[in-house]
Structure 1
Amino acid sequence: MMYAWLVRAFGMALLHAAAAVVQAKIAVFSPDDADLARIVAVALLVGAAALWSALDGWWRRPDRGKVWFIASLVAGPVSGLLSVIGRAVFVDQTGISELGNALTGGAAFTALLILLPAGLGLFVGGKLGSDQRPKAEPAG
């Protein structure tokens, strides 16, 4: 189980941090497109969490709810740290002063942005799976 949540946590953290860095880059160099970039980024991030968790639900992975819960809690702060590092390196030399906000409010938002679509994906994916039990033949 540890490997499962670790992969999901770091995968989603990298995706969220990359989206934050790209959004910051667009906001600096093309402010008119910042709103559209934010909408597209959130849609892609929600879609990624929902799709990945739906596949887990469809494949009936063990402890999938617990795995996604832990992954979202870990991905929040990791994503915050990576986004501050990414913005400092690639965009605007963001300083250590941004780290507090990224590890509190930003981490909580990221965790919710993973957990809510993942819950929906697990529900939908669980409904998509075919029933493996053999159907009883009608008597007669």
Structure 2
Amino acid sequence: MVGIIPRNGGGEFAFGKVLKKGAILFGLQRVPSVARLVEYGKTVCATGYRDKLYAVAIPKNHTQEICNVISTGFNMPCLRLPDYLNLTLTPSTSILHTTRLYTLFKNYIPNKTVNKKFHSFMRSGIMRLRNYFLDVMKKFKSCVVL
């Protein structure tokens, strides 16, 4: 089994070779909790646990098995999502992670600096994401949204 926690749009393509060999890929819609570093390489503090998790597997027929493992492992309910597209098309992204934002804006001075790397990063990333979604939507006429 290969898990993506939280899932990442396109992650199923990154693991295409192992899927062809019979591996089960699963993804969680969100992380089970927030983790803060206490001591590098040794300890984190987990807080803000979710009430439940949502998961799906490829192949889809393994989703309930994955939910059972996740539910037992995290000691919380894990509900099945109808399709991996529910993960791929979820409008949540690590691009907006606080560490990434800090890296992009740490030297920002209001009205004085513009982060050119950020602007080019966002333009190219948004265009790649747009093209990916257009390709997906051409293949699938509908998508279940929770």
TM over 0.5: no
TM-score (norm 1): 0.29
Q: More helix per residue: 1 or 2?
A: 1
Higher relative contact order (CA 8 A, sep 6+): 1
TM-score (norm 2): 0.28
